[in-house]
Amino acid sequence: MSVDRSSWEVKDEAVLAELVQLLNLSADEAAILRSPHDAAQKQAPAMREDFYTRLLAHPQTAEYFTDINMSRMYAMLQNWFIELFSGVYDEAYARRRINIGKAHVRIGLPVRYPIAMLDVAIAHAEAVARTHPQPDAAVAAVRKVIALDMAVFQQAHEDRQLEFLSNMVGNERLARRLLSEE
């Protein structure tokens, strides 16, 4: 591959703004998600319950929670879920979500796990969206917001690998070419 790509220049918080554009997440859709915010608060404990039941039943994921303060984890996961319905997907939101992605890179977690676990979040987020007077529009909107998180989790892992390889070979452009060439 010989051409540089403009996507390579989109970094950090700008990634989220770019994806909002790509997904056509409009101001109206963002606003739609704000109104079921109370329903999201009510749904959050059930989401957290399903999430950890699944995660702790699987030995490869359960082992990440040895010596972890679970009540803190529960609160952070519920906040993450409720924030899907904040209605504001700006730079500050991007920063918070990117930092969550990075926290999982730091613990050496293969990215397949958080991405697979979004399945639980999607089911509960759609249940919240269906409480809206325009359920189809709300479901479509929340799917876009979850797609943002899926992308951010993946991006955090990719960024770390790119950073590591860039440091080794001296620059990011060369690192990208090495990663993409056969």
Binding-site ranges for ligand HEM (CB under 6 A): 55, 61, 64, 68, 76-77, 80, 99-100, 103-104, 107, 109, 113-114, 117-118, 121
CA dihedral 162, 151, 114, 139 (to 10 degrees): 180
Nearest approach, Cβ of 50 to ligand HEM (angstroms)? 11
Which residue is it, tokens 């991405």?
Answer: 115
Nearest approach, Cβ of 53 to ligand HEM (angstroms)? 13
Nearest approach, Cβ of 28 to ligand HEM (angstroms)? 26
Residue with Cβ nearer ligand HEM (27 or 68): 68
Nearest approach, Cβ of 107 to ligand HEM (angstroms)? 5
Residue with Cβ nearer ligand HEM (99 or 161): 99
Angle, alpha carbons 53-56-57 (nearest 5°): 80
Enter the tokens of residue 44: 């959050």
Check: CB of residue 65 under 8 Å from CB of residue 146: no
Residue with Cβ nearer ligand HEM (53 or 99): 99
Report the alpha-carbon distance of residue 81 to residue 51 in Å, rounded. 11
